[in-house]
């Protein structure tokens, strides 16, 4: 760890304490905590060089410490002046809080002392994907975001989001690279578990509550700022293929339903989301320009800035321009859909002229300085973006105190009260699809920890020795090649015929609870008639599931999307239209709520 000392608080001649960020012993306007944010921003902006401005417009990645082949990113602060980072693997609360204080020390030693903003993809669920969500760190675990939608309880979601915010803030993470405002209208899409479902109305209610929970009524020192994504709505992916990969380079609108995909974003704007991330994909056939949203003037300046008046930070989705290379591990191509023929400088200039403020995943200030020197982009254009970026740092209180209390973080993160709330939300998200709770004492289990199951009866090794069975099932998917693509569960939603036959035969032989983990809308058609109990879950501990299976706790969640009857029904549906699969097996809102918006 660094031995750099934290800069001491000095006192102005009138007694006002301040951080001497530029090390001159005088309280400059940007260091004055009494001044309005805008005045502090303008003073600091006037002091910055083009290189310092360019560095602010990069949002890199960071790992605490040096982990194998992955550098921590410290040199990006000390050598290149970056001050925004998406955290990758987060350690326990103590190590993460200490790391925050360490990088703030590094930043404080720079010429102007601009503090670091640490950001993160979701960390409070069960999903681990190196590009979209992480587990670990000891945070209080709840269901995936789609499970929050299953509760359809904005008050509960706001309370849980406030817990997420407290835990992130405790360890120094001040920007949430979530929530996803994308609608789950294409059932094959790999990202559905991160959404708030298929219905625009429900998604709008839940996203507004989520943002209020993280940010509060307005952005301040107690906030975690939300970077809502993926504008103008990443749900209608062509045949469900994800936009991290070339097969998913297009959003498609065969039903002309772009307006419905914008509605959750409208709720996010009303709730005051601080930042926005555009989509990788091309909004093809929408009437908007046929280039990826990160590069798209129609999307960012025309729609986001113009129609909606959004003046917050716009950060591109990560590595759209240069890709990501980890020597000896993986080389990921750029996601520059629709502009592949342009040079890197041309793509950078196009992104900035489109209206983006930060380049997600990029770490070389020369990308921006080069287009300024060439005359393709003016320094005044940089000022527009840096002004927005600095504004959020000031609003979050980072210039006045970017440090965290390590011992307080250890005490807060994963505390009993937080874990209890996470478990409450897990339980409230369970959906009773069909059948009745089971009885019996001799259990056969699959996908359940036998040690946990043993608290509910005698666990046996063979179905023929059991009185009942409890099987936790993952949503089917097509295995893909490639280190990253393996983590994205795409393609068919149907169980392999041999596996469906095995499960149905077991369920015919003894009373069986089939508990489907619905990270996507699985096709349960061959299984539903045979299950004594059929449950949908979105991330829940084994004991919470078993409590529901045995009728000890009620299941109050409702489906946040339709469950299709077959892959053929999905393939025939329009990607952009909610509830467009013919004759679904179970409908949105099942078992208690009326169906949502009709297609």
Q: Which residue numbers are catalytic? A: 317
Contacts of 219 (CB under 8 A, 6+ apart): 225, 272, 274, 392, 395, 396
- Encoded tokens for 238: 């062509």
d(CA 251, CA 239): 9
The answer to whether the peptide bond before residue 591 is cis (omega within 30 degrees of 0) is yes
CB burial class (10 A; 0-12, 13-18, 19+) of residue 599? middle
Residue 539 makes CB contacts below 8 A (sequence gap 6+) with 125, 126, 127, 141, 142, 143, 144, 147, 193, 426, 429, 517
Antiparallel, parallel or unpaired: β 17-19 and 9-11: antiparallel
What is the C-alpha to C-alpha distance for residues 586 and 198, in angstroms, rounded to an integer?
A: 13
Task: Tell me the three state secondary structure of residue 592.
Answer: coil
Closest CA to 212 of 164, 167, 169: 164
The Cα diameter of the chain in Å comes to: 84
3-state secondary structure of 45: helix
Tally the residues of the chain. Answer: 599
Element containing residue 433 per DSSP (H, E):
strand 431-435
Contact 60, 363 (CB under 8 A): yes
- Count the helices and strands in the chain (H runs, E runs): 18, 20
């Amino acid at each position: 760890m660094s031995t750099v000392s934290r800069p001491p608080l000095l006192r102005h001649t009138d007694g006002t304490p301040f951080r001497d960020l530029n090390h001159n012993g005088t309280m400059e306007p940007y260091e004055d905590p009494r001044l309005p944010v805008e005045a502090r921003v303008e003073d600091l902006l006037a002091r910055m060089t083009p290189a310092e401005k360019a560095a602010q417009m990069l949002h890199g990645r960071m790992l605490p410490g040096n982990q194998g082949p992955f550098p921590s990113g410290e040199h990006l602060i000390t050598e290149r002046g970056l001050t925004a980072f998406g955290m990758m693997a987060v350690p326990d609360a103590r190590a993460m809080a200490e790391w925050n204080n360490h990088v703030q020390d590094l930043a404080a030693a720079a010429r102007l002392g601009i503090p670091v903003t640490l950001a993160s993809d979701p960390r409070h669920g069960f999903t681990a994907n190196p590009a979209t969500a992480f587990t670990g760190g000891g945070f209080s675990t709840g269901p995936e975001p789609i499970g929050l939608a299953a509760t359809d309880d904005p008050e509960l979601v706001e309370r849980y989001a406030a817990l997420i915010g407290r835990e992130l803030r405790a360890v120094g993470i001040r920007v949430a690279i979530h929530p996803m405002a994308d609608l789950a209208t294409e059932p094959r899409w790999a990202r559905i578990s991160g959404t708030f479902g298929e219905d625009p109305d429900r998604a709008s209610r839940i996203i507004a509550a989520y943002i209020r929970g993280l940010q509060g009524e307005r952005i301040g020192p107690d906030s975690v700022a939300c970077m809502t994504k993926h504008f103008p709505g990443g749900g209608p992916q062509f045949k469900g293929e994800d936009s991290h990969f070339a097969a998913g380079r297009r959003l498609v609108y065969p039903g002309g339903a772009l307006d419905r995909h914008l509605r959750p974003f409208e709720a996010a704007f009303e709730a005051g989301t601080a930042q926005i991330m555009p989509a990788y994909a091309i909004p093809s056939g929408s009437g908007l320009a046929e280039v990826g949203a990160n590069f798209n003037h129609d999307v960012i300046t025309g729609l986001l800035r113009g129609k909606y008046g959004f003046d917050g930070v716009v950060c591109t989705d990560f590595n759209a321009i240069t890709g990501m290379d980890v020597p000896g591990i993986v080389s990921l191509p750029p996601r520059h859909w629709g502009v592949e023929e342009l040079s890197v400088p041309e793509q950078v200039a196009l992104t900035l002229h489109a209206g983006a403020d930060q380049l997600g995943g990029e770490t070389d200030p020369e990308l921006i300085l080069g287009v300024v020197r060439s005359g393709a982009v003016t320094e005044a254009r940089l000022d527009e973006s840096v002004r927005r970026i600095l504004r959020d740092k000031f609003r979050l209180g980072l210039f006045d105190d970017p440090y965290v209390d390590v011992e307080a973080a250890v005490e807060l993160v994963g505390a009993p009260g937080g874990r209890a709330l996470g478990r409450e939300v897990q339980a409230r998200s369970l959906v009773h699809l069909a059948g009745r709770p089971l009885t019996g004492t001799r259990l056969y289990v699959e996908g359940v920890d036998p040690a946990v199951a043993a608290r509910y009866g005698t666990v046996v090794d063979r179905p023929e020795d059991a009185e009942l069975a409890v099987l936790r099932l993952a949503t089917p998917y097509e295995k893909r090649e490639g280190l990253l693509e393996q983590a994205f569960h795409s393609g068919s939603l149907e169980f392999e015929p041999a596996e469906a036959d095995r499960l149905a035969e077991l369920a015919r032989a003894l009373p069986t609870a089939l508990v489907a983990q619905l990270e996507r809308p699985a096709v349960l058609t061959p299984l539903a008639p045979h299950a004594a109990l059929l449950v949908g879950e979105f991330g829940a501990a084994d004991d919470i599931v078993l409590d529901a299976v045995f009728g000890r706790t009620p299941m109050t969640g409702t489906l946040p999307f339709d469950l299709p009857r077959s892959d053929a029904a999905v393939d025939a549906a329009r990607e952009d239209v909610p509830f467009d699969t013919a004759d679904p097996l179970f409908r949105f809102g099942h078992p208690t709520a009326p169906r949502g918006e009709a297609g």
